[in-house]
Structure 1
Amino acid sequence: MRKLIGALAAAGVLTASACAPDTSDEADAGSQDPGSPYRVVQLVGQNQAGPAALNARAAAQAATAAVAVLNEKGGILGHPVELEIIDDGGDPTTAVTKLHERLRTGQKPNLVLPGNTSAEALPMAPVITEAEILSVQQASADALDDPEKFPYVFKTPPVPATWARALVEHARKVGADRIAMIAGKDAFAQAIVAATREAIAAGGLTLTGEETYAAEDLDVTAQLERLRASGPELLFMQGAGASVGYVLESRLKIGWTDVPLVADSTSAVTSLLNRPAPDGLVGTPATENVFVQVLAGAVEGAGGPNPGALETMLAALKREGPIGLPLNAFFAYDAVMLAAKAAEATGTITDAKAQSEWLETITPAETGLWALSTYTFTPESHGPAVDPSAVAVIPATTLVEGRYPSAG
Structure 2
Amino acid sequence: MSRHVRTVHRGGVSPVRITPGRTIRTGAAALALITLSACGGGGTGKADSHGPFRVLAVLPLSGALAEQAKLQMSGLQAAADDLNGRGGIGGRKIEIASVDDKLNPTEAVSRLQSRLNGSERPDYVLAGATSNETLAMLPALTNARVLSGTTASDRSMDDPKKYPYHFGYQSANDQNYASAVRFMKTRGVRTLAFIASNDALGTYNRSAIENAVKGTGIKLVAQSYDSKATDLTAPLDALRSARPDLLLASGYGPAVGYILDARQKLNWSVPVIGDSGFAGSNPASLVDSSALKDVLIQTFKVAALSERGSWQPATERMVKAVAAKGPVKQIITLAAEPYDALQVLGVAAEQAGGTDPADLKKAMESLKRPSPVPWTTYAAYAYSTKAHFPVVNDSDFSYLPASVLVQGQFEASS
TM interval, short-chain normalised: 0.7 to 0.9
Q: How does 1:101-180 map to 2 (within 5 A)?
A: 101-180=114-193
Q: Matches of residues 170-249 of structure 1 in structure 2 within 5 Å?
A: 170-207=183-220, 209-249=221-261
- Name the SS of the counterpart of 2:214 in structure 1: helix
Instruction: Please tell me whether residue 353 in structure 1 is matched to residue 358 in structure 2.
Output: yes
Paired residue for 1:45? 60
- Identity across the alignment (%): 31
Which stretch shows the higher mean deviation, 312-321 or 105-114? 105-114
CA deviations on 1:128-178 (whole Å, 9 max, x unpaired) are 222222223222222221111111110001111122012202211211122
Gaps of 5+ in 2: 1-28, 38-43
Task: Give me the CA root mean square deviation.
Answer: 2.6
Partner of residue 12, structure 1: none
Q: Deviations over 1:212-257 (max 9, x none)?
A: 2224544444433332332321111122333333332332233321
- Per the alignment, residue 268 of structure 1 pairs with 279
TM-score, normalised to structure 2, is 0.83
1:288 and 1:17, CA in 2 relative to 1: closer, same or farther beyond 3 A? farther
- 2:349 aligns with one of 343, 346, 358: 343
Say whether residues 1:376 and 2:389 are aligned partners. Answer: no
Please report how far the alpha carbon of residue 400 of structure 1 lies from its aligned counterpart in structure 2 after TM superposition. 0.5
- The letter for the 2-side match of 1:260 is P
Q: What is the CA–CA distance in structure 1 between the aligned matches of 2:154 and 2:129, rounded to whole Å?
A: 11
Letter in 2 for 1:314: V
1:281 aligns with 2:288: yes
Moved more, 209-218 or 66-75: 209-218
Alpha-carbon spacing, 1:222–1:120, altered in 2? closer, same or farther (3 Å): closer
How far apart, in 2, do the equivalents of 1:204 and 1:30 lie?
56
Residues in 2 aligned to 1:128 and 1:67: alpha-carbon distance in whole angstroms: 22
Is the CA contact 1:298–1:326 (under 8 Å) kept in the aligned structure 2?
A: yes
8 Å contact from structure 1 (residues 46, 87) kept in 2: yes
Partner of 2:11: none
CA shift digits 1:88-134 (9 cap, x unpaired):
22222222222222122223322121222222222222222222222
The match for 2:339 among 333, 339, 345 is 333
Structure 1, unpaired ranges of 5+:
1-15
Equivalent in 254, 265, 274 of residue 253 of structure 1: 265
2:391 corresponds, among 365, 376, 385, to 385
Instruction: Measure the CA separation in 2 of the matches of 1:366 and 1:177.
Output: 42
Structure 1, residues 331-362: CA drift from partner, whole Å, max 9, x if none? Answer: 2111111111111111102x111111111123
Q: Return the letter of the residue paired with 1:91.
A: N
Distance 1:106 1:217 in 2: 42
Contact 1:262 1:291 in 2 (8 A): yes
Q: Which amino acid aligns with 1:58?
A: L
Q: 1:30 and 2:60 equivalent?
A: no
**Alpha-carbon distance in structure 2 between the residues aligned to 1:146 and 1:41:** 22
Asked if the contact 1:304–1:310 (Cα under 8 Å) also holds between the matched residues in 2, the reply is no
**Deviation at 1:29?**
4.1
Number of positions where the alignment pairs a residue of Structure 1 with one of Structure 2: 376
TM-score when scaled to structure 1? 0.84
Once residues 238 and 306 of structure 1 are traced to their aligned partners in structure 2, the CA distance between those partners, rounded to angstroms, is 27
Structure 2 partner of 1:313: 318
Kindly tell me: are residues 256 and 371 of structure 1, through their superposed partners in 2, closer, same or farther at Cα, counting changes over 3 Å?
A: same
Greater mean deviation of Cα atoms: 212-221 or 101-110: 212-221
